[in-house]
Amino acid sequence: MGCQAVGMEFLCYHRDRPGSLGLRHELLEEHWSYMDRFAAEMIARGPTFDGERLTGSLHIVDLPDSAAARAFAFDEPGYQAGAYRDVLIRR
């Protein structure tokens, strides 16, 4: 039996900055292109809502370590452009 590297599961929650919906729409193609690079590591992903109001994005990814999880979360195009007020990363 071959050895396979075992990753760790991380939850990454990007919480929207108030008034950032337009910016998020502008960056939608970049966001999806970025996330597609992590297709093999992605366990679950999707938007978060408060009623009908979009509040952020949640991703559960299988990555090698916390440094990789931080890179995943903070290199995301919407975060880089200032669309999110903060990011929560939990193992």
Q: What is the CATH number of the domain that holds 62?
A: 3.30.70.1060
Q: Which amino acid is at 6?
A: V
Q: CA 39, CA 24: separation in Å to the nearest integer?
A: 20
pLDDT at residue 59, as a whole number: 98
Strand ranges, E, within 1-91:
8-16, 42-50, 53-63, 84-90
Asked if the structure places residue 41 within a domain, the reply is yes
Structural domain boundaries, residue 39: 8-90
Tokens of 36: 């597609």
Asked if the structure places residue 67 within a domain, the reply is yes
The model's pTM is 0.87
pLDDT at residue 2, as a whole number: 44
- pLDDT tens for 4-63 read 456 899 999 999 999 999 999 999 999 999 999 999 999 999 999 999 999 999 999 999
Q: How many structural domains does the chain have?
A: 1
The burial of 16, by beta-carbon neighbours within 10 Å (0-12 exposed, 13-18 middle, 19 or more buried), is given as: buried
Asked if the structure places residue 21 within a domain, the reply is yes
pLDDT at residue 7, as a whole number: 86
pLDDT at residue 5, as a whole number: 54
